[in-house]
Amino acid sequence: MGYQILGSDEDLPSLLTQIPLALITVGQIKSPETRKRLFSIIKKNGGQLPVVKSPDAYCSRHATLGEGTILMHGSLINANACIGENCIINSHALIEHDARVAAHCHVSTGARINGGVSISEGCFIGSGAVIREGVEIGSGAIIGAGQIVMRDVPSGQIVRHRYD
């Protein structure tokens, strides 16, 4: 592709002394571990992870975004929503009022997180999934694309079908 490779993950500490800003663009499907590991290396070595917001994204001034979070095109974060550090809120995803998304989560394209939902650390919410208001999603859960979640999901659960 013609891009210069600056180094590997092992070179991050040295690279951060030259350029202290970093952006983690690795997504996740099965596990957030790569994103978490890179975040940890960057923080441990004094790096900074800015919040990156597409000019086509909307974020209420009453919402909170954690360090290193990325808001993609058309994403919408409403009032009192709280997004943890190192999250990806992908294109056209909706995070409604009073929802909580913990650190290291990936909310995929077109997913709908309704009001008062609580998503624990390291979750993956697939494209077009809909999480009913007030539902709690346990840490490390994976919600498949297009799934409708009507009740709480335990930690580590993989949701492949409507969950009610």
Q: How far apart are CA 107 and CA 93, in angstroms?
A: 7
In this structure, which long-range contacts are made by residues 152-160, counting pairs with CB atoms below 8 Å and at least 24 apart in sequence? 155/120
Q: How far apart are CA 83 and CA 65, in angstroms?
A: 5
Q: How far apart are CA 150 and CA 24, in angstroms?
A: 31
Per DSSP, the three-state class of 21 is strand
Give the residue numbers marked as catalytic.
Answer: 97
Q: How far apart are CA 141 and CA 98, in angstroms?
A: 20
Q: Is 106 annotated as a binding residue?
A: yes
Binding-site residues, in ranges, read 106
Binding-site residues for acetyl-CoA, in ranges, read 106
